[in-house]
Amino acid sequence: MREVQTILVGLQVAFPEGALTLGSDRALDQAIWVAQTAGAELHLVHSTHGQAESDAASASALGAGDAPGLVEAVERCSAHGLKVTSEVTDLRPWRALVLLAVQGRGQMVVLGKRDSPTAEGRRLGAVAVKVLRKCPVPVWAVRPEHDQNHKLVLAATDLSEVGGQALDLAAWVAEHQGARLHVVHALSNPEGYGESEGEEREALLDKQKARAGAIVDERISRGPFDGESAVHLSRREPYLAIREAGEHLHPDLLVMGSLTTEGEPGLLVGGTAERLLGRTNCSLLMLKPQGFVCPVTP
């Protein structure tokens, strides 16, 4: 986390009161914790784009930057001894955050999930989905009901480099929160699987499981994590393996990498991640691989 110098925090204000929404309030708490732990600064971002007429009138009367929630947010950060800056923009909120990341003004984005799920059960709003898809830096979408006390962190890895980075970040959070670390990996068919059967096939599977477990254990051992950990190896499709692990373990945070580097930039974040967007009950921290092409340009 030493590379995270500035954390961008997306904040939404509810008018006419001018207070932060519940999701933004929890996101700010999470960002403050990360900044304190990593020694980072905070940059708070609020967008007035697309406000309803009544909200726009209230914002204008208050002065957008003088909304009580934004003023209090800056004061909260300062009270924790953090260096904090803020801005109000008329850009679309997702574009403002992604653009700041592209310009190198932030190395992580933190924002809130929906205050309440849609009728279809989706917890990620349009802004969070677009930021997760398009942003080149790690994005932490915070569950509004979360109390910031992480008891269990779940890392999903495919053993790729970005999967390893997701595991590193999950271990960092777990270490500093005193949380249990669980890792889920979906096994693919090993070489020779289709041509084998019986004991030979079982031997191939056992060898594959041992190799995957050893890779995960070795990656964890590189860092400072010294708490309780467990590895879950599944023969299911990756998105099913992750979803089932989440339903069984009830993690406070799911950390995973996106594997999309090709195709139409910013439309998808990889098949597995895309199928999980909006369906995870917990907070979500997503990383992009090296070579990710961001569709937003200054």
Tell me, yes or no, whether 166 and 82 share the same domain. no
Domain extent, residue 219, equals 152-282
Q: Which amino acid is at 109?
A: V
**Domain-terminating residue out of 108, 142, 176:** 142
**The pLDDT of residue 253:** 96
Q: Which residues contact 265 (CB under 8 A, 6 or more apart)?
A: 134, 293, 294, 295
- Tell me how far CA of residue 3 lies from CA of 6, 37, 122, 185, in angstroms: 9, 13, 32, 27
One domain for residues 138 and 10: yes
116 burial via Cβ count (<10 Å: 0-12, 13-18, 19+) = exposed
- How are beta strands 19-20 and 13-14 bridged, if at all? antiparallel
Burial of 178 (C-beta count, 10 Å sphere; 0-12/13-18/19+): exposed
User: How far apart, in whole angstroms, are the C-alpha atoms of residue 223 and residue 203?
Assistant: 31
Question: Are 184 and 275 found together in one domain?
Answer: yes
Same domain, 13 and 122: yes
pLDDT tens-digit series, residues 243-265: 999 999 999 999 998 854 344 44
Query: Do 169 and 239 sit in the same domain of this protein?
Result: yes
pLDDT of residue 295: 85
pLDDT value for 72: 95
Same domain, yes or no: 133 and 200: no
Res 200: pLDDT: 74
Residue 297 lies in a domain: no
Strands 108-112 and 139-142: parallel
Output the pLDDT for position 62: 41
Please state the domain count of the chain.
Answer: 2
CATH code of residue 104: 3.40.50.620
Q: What is the 3-state secondary structure (H, E, C) of 75-109?
A: HHHHHCCCCEEEEEECCCHHHHHHHHHHCCCCCEE
| pLDDT at res. 291 | 83
Q: What is the pLDDT of residue 116?
A: 67
Which pLDDT belongs to residue 278?
65
**Do the beta carbons of residue 48 and residue 66 sit within 8 Å?**
no
Ranges under pLDDT 50 in the chain: 53-54, 56-63, 260-269
